[in-house]
Structure 1
């Protein structure tokens, strides 16, 4: 997504995300879950729509706290389906709820979603996609690829001449291996 380095600077929505979040390693399970959910909501839509609706999505999904979202029931699904401020797609909403439940299972087994990701690193994109499809709902190649680029696992989020690339290189995520890129 190297073109992102060209369009994002100065843009009111893309700019802050590109400069401060995209490609930045994350270890917080809530933030990881949010990022996965945003990528799921983006499927078939533009990233700009997701960024514009992000504050409402965060509010509607209780801050993307997996422990809260995991206990959502049919009444919550109906509440979300009538919320005009968010992306209202029943399959995506149900996937988010199911994925929250899966993350709780992963936490029980691995200690955290971040630990699960770290344990499986490194892998190539195809292996990641296979793992995510076996583990989570609504996680095709684009969703998984963008999710993993957005959290600094897969390379390609920024060009080497992008100021964000240099800032991210200074970070020291647990999975950083010699020679890996942002």
Structure 2
């Protein structure tokens, strides 16, 4: 592993550590998403706290912080496996943000952003999967879990060289959704079915 590769992996982690949800909530003068709503600093919780616009800004920034380091690494000529490690590092930054006491979100949007530069077909397929499941269930966490469950299969089908990093990211996201999985099992997970 070269010094450039290590630098880009570190860059991925540091960019991933920027908590878009916390910063957007401060800008919109909303409650801290780590201590309000679901307690998760992500776009879904920002939507609960402040509506569509701050949620969209949060989602866009979370996607970008996964996309930018991977895109940069791609243009610098990193091999596919190491591009995958940069993506994993960005997701780890989102989950364990250096600047926010290592208390972060679930990395779904950041993972999606990281896939766009190297596998845009797979990223679009993942978006379509999430939208279909969410439209049927109206449960964001269920849509995310089904989507990341299928991600390694999509990767093997479309870009097999990224299968191992995608599996690593999927495992991370599943691990971060433990509480959601428990609530889904008990039937107590919140949905957007009655929200406007």
Bigger RCO (CA 8 Å, 6+ sep) = 1
TM-score between both structures, scaled by the size of structure 1: 0.32
TM-score between both structures, scaled by the size of structure 2: 0.31
Structure ranking higher in helix proportion:
2
